[in-house]
Amino acid sequence: MSIKITGTGNYIPALIEKNESFHQHEFLNADGSDINHPNKTIVDKFKAITGITERRYADDRLTSSDLGFLAAQKAIEDANIDPETIDYIICAHNFGDVKANTIQSDILPCLASRVKHNLRIKNPKCVAYDILFGCPGWIEGVIQAKAFIKSGMAKRCLVIGSETLSRVVDKHDRDSMIYSDGAGATIVEELEDEGGILAHETASFTYDEAYYLYFGNSNNQDLCRDTRYIKMHGRKIYEFALTNVPLAMKTYLDKSGIDIKDLKKILIHQANEKMDEAIIQRFYKLYKMDVPEGIIPMSIHKLGNSSVATIPTLFDLIRNNKLEHHSINKGDVIIFASVGAGMHINAIVYKY
């Protein structure tokens, strides 16, 4: 018996926001002072560091739970299951439903309940709840689904990662260009098959690192000081990730008993191209190996950083042959790995 992902789906918003659209923004330093560089220089440097050329924003009529519902529909159809047979719906997000052009987060009821409502599931024993775990939320949701199934509390779970980060960014902050909207969903269940989840682990670094990502004021000192936006200490996050994520990935892979030479893909949270590449380089250096060509699929160039949605969306694209030069075949071993607000790190070693 194995616990496997049997269905995937994503919702990638249609609205494309290209880097050129930021040429007219008023970017400011954290203290409100002017940045002594033209916007084109700021944007070009941003692209060189992150790899992002464009990102997706949700239609004003849609909220995060709507995106999650649309992705969930596809995952259910892909798995060819009856929604009434789902035992748990776990929805990972960070900011709830933030309607367009508003500043208030809405999490009552929770997003998972909203998704269940929209799916028209009648079964009251289908438990719906949210998980707030930063960008690693979808992976943690899959780990929790595995625990429910292994304990006998569930046979089938729907795990969703959904976010509309474009509605909680400070447009005067250069970091706002990183974030995007989207959703990914997966069906997790037990099968009489080999493979599936081979190993996993999670760690929370909070002693000094808890507030590397936080809610803070706009860089524009003239705006309301009671309104908060997503903020980050980018350099600290970069150094933290490079120090801790490769070691964590090695621990998880060694725990699975899989030889690194048998690893086919690493689906890492699409946070920053240069950071992700540096993490993988350090990971392979721990094994005294060079990074194999094509080991890390990337979607950040076109989709930006949609937090909890990046990995399930990436996985769905590859499964459906919609990411050029990348594919996954039965028996391939892959790693899902993420780092994010909290600061949390987690990973799953998975045999497809």
Can you give the pLDDT at residue 30?
Answer: 87
Can you give the pLDDT at residue 38?
Answer: 87
Residue 255 has pLDDT above 90, yes or no: no
Beta bridge partners of 127: 88
Examine the domain organization and report whether 263 and 168 are in the same domain. no
Least confident of 115-119, 159-163, 222-226, 338-342: 222-226
Contact 190, 2 (CB under 8 A): yes
When pLDDT is cut at 50, 70 and 90, the band that residue 303 belongs to is very high
Can you give the pLDDT at residue 212?
Answer: 96
The secondary structure of 22-61 as a DSSP string is GGG---B-TTSPBPSS-HHHHHHHHHHHH--SEEEE--TT
Among 193, 216, 243, which residue terminates a domain? 193
Q: Which residue has the tokens 């930021």?
A: 22
Can you give the pLDDT at residue 193?
Answer: 85
Q: Measuring CA to CA, how many Å separate 39 from each of 271, 300, 328? A: 22, 21, 40
Examine the domain organization and report whether 210 and 246 are in the same domain. yes
Residue 182 has pLDDT above 90, yes or no: yes
Can you give the pLDDT at residue 29?
Answer: 87
- Could you read off the pLDDT of 43-89 as tens digits, one per residue? 999 999 999 999 999 999 999 999 999 999 999 999 999 999 999 99
- Other CB atoms within a 10 A radius of the CB of residue 288 amount to 6
Can you give the pLDDT at residue 68?
Answer: 98
Q: Is the bond into 109 cis (omega within 30 degrees of 0)?
A: yes
Residue 12 has pLDDT above 90, yes or no: yes
CA separation for the pair 35, 39 (Å, rounded) = 9
CA separation for the pair 60, 150 (Å, rounded) = 40
Residue 223 has pLDDT above 90, yes or no: no
When pLDDT is cut at 50, 70 and 90, the band that residue 289 belongs to is very high
Q: What does pLDDT average to over the chain?
A: 94
Examine the domain organization and report whether 189 and 77 are in the same domain. yes
Examine the domain organization and report whether 184 and 279 are in the same domain. no
The secondary structure of 275-315 as a DSSP string is HHHHHHHHHHHTTT-PPPTT-S---HHHH-B-GGGHHHHHH
Can you give the pLDDT at residue 102?
Answer: 86
Can you give the pLDDT at residue 7?
Answer: 97
Percent of the chain with pLDDT over 90: 85
- pLDDT average, residue stretch 320-349: 94
Contact 31, 204 (CB under 8 A): no
When pLDDT is cut at 50, 70 and 90, the band that residue 286 belongs to is very high
Examine the domain organization and report whether 11 and 151 are in the same domain. yes
CA separation for the pair 294, 328 (Å, rounded) = 12
Buried b (16+ CB within 10 A) or exposed e, 46-77: bbeebbbebbbbbeeebbbbbbbbbbbbbbbe
30 vs 125, which has greater pLDDT?
125
Examine the domain organization and report whether 83 and 143 are in the same domain. yes
- pLDDT average, residue stretch 289-309: 95
Q: Which residue has the tokens 């997790």?
A: 188
Examine the domain organization and report whether 189 and 208 are in the same domain. no
Examine the domain organization and report whether 210 and 188 are in the same domain. no
Can you give the pLDDT at residue 36?
Answer: 85
Where in the sequence is the domain holding 90, given as residue range(s)? Answer: 2-193
Residue 241 has pLDDT above 90, yes or no: yes
* Total domains, the chain: 2
Residue 278 has pLDDT above 90, yes or no: yes
Q: At 277, which CATH number?
A: 3.40.47.10
Among 128, 160, 193, which residue terminates a domain? 193
Burial class (CB in 10 A: 0-12, 13-18, 19+), 36: exposed
When pLDDT is cut at 50, 70 and 90, the band that residue 24 belongs to is confident
- Could you read off the pLDDT of 92-143 as tens digits, one per residue? 999 999 999 887 899 999 999 999 999 999 999 999 999 999 999 999 999 9
Examine the domain organization and report whether 50 and 168 are in the same domain. yes
When pLDDT is cut at 50, 70 and 90, the band that residue 21 belongs to is confident
- pLDDT average, residue stretch 253-281: 93
Examine the domain organization and report whether 72 and 205 are in the same domain. no
Among 160, 193, 226, which residue terminates a domain? 193
Examine the domain organization and report whether 40 and 173 are in the same domain. yes
Examine the domain organization and report whether 116 and 21 are in the same domain. yes
Beta bridge partners of 56: 16
